Amino acid sequence: MTMELLQLKYFKTVAEMGKISDAAQALFISAPALSTSISRLEKELGVQLFDRTNNKIILNQQGQIFLRYVNQIFTNLNCAKTELRQSVMHQGQHVSIASVASTQWVDMITVFSQEYPHFSLLCTSVNRMELTNSGLSAQHSFLLAAEDDIPVFYAEKLESSFLFEDHPVVMVHPDHPIAQKESVDLHSLLNETIFLPMQDFPLYDHLVKLFEECGIPFPAGNAYSHLATQQMAAKGLGVAFATQHTARTPSLSLRYMPIQNNYKPWISRLYWRKNHAFTKDELIFKEFIENYYRALM
């Protein structure tokens, strides 16, 4: 027997509803037929997916693992349907990309959209956990990320091209004493009010590693979005962090101060799957983004 999508849909519905009779009613099939389908699936996989108690059927540890992959299958199918509809609507050039730390790519994407107004550029934000658990979604041709954002085991499945080298900077109000210096020693920030990025932001992980490399205790502080930390630093309420690349746009209310401590720069790359056969549209985007960042060096 070969696993079928309908069978996976049955499993997913039972897992979510927790009762064969309710799931059968929702699926418009008989309860015995649904129960038989689940039993056949378990036999094919060689594991029990549910613990059965009285009239309830409860997902066990193995079932939870399998459900994660089944959800991924249906998510990818929905993405495929969406992309197909968009392709029909636009009837033109189309590229789908994913990015980590999406704020870093705004300028590039804006310029690309200006130069290629008829391009349908589908941009999706992903986080490290998604890359670790699922990798790059099948709907995406490219991934924009820093080297440290890619799990080592997954990086082996990808090819990439260098885009730019990024550095941490400190954001302060122009009247702050730090703003009068040429650069900032991280040790000098320990007595400052610090606004940190949220923990699911890549910058947070980069900062943790940066302080660790410099042998400095990681500062305690409240966590906010990038926009919120910018605004608080601009009001003189404390200091915050950004990257040199995101700080390229001049600001009258902020100074971006380089860090003088020794550290390893953050390398950002354009990633794609090994042996990927590029479409004409993908090659246009790839050439554009590589030339864009080469011109900024």
d(CA 41, CA 19) in angstroms, rounded, equals 17
Locate 61 and state its tokens. 């540890």
Beta strand residue intervals within the chain, DSSP E: 50-53, 56-59, 94-99, 120-125, 142-146, 158-166, 168-172, 194-197, 222-224, 239-243, 255-258, 266-273
Locate 187 and state its tokens. 């040790």
CB 100 within 8 A of CB 145: yes
CB 254 within 8 A of CB 174: yes
pLDDT tens track of the chain, all 297 residues? 466 888 898 998 888 888 888 888 888 899 889 889 999 999 888 899 988 877 778 888 888 888 888 887 887 777 667 666 655 655 556 788 888 877 778 888 889 989 988 887 888 888 777 777 777 777 788 999 989 888 888 888 899 999 999 989 999 999 999 999 999 999 988 888 899 888 777 788 888 888 998 888 888 777 888 778 888 888 899 999 988 887 777 778 899 999 998 888 889 999 999 988 888 889 999 999 999 999 987
The β-bridge partners of 257 are 170
CB 175 within 8 A of CB 255: no
CB 87 within 8 A of CB 94: yes
59 three-class SS? strand
Chain CA centroid to CA 147, Å: 13
pTM value?
Answer: 0.64
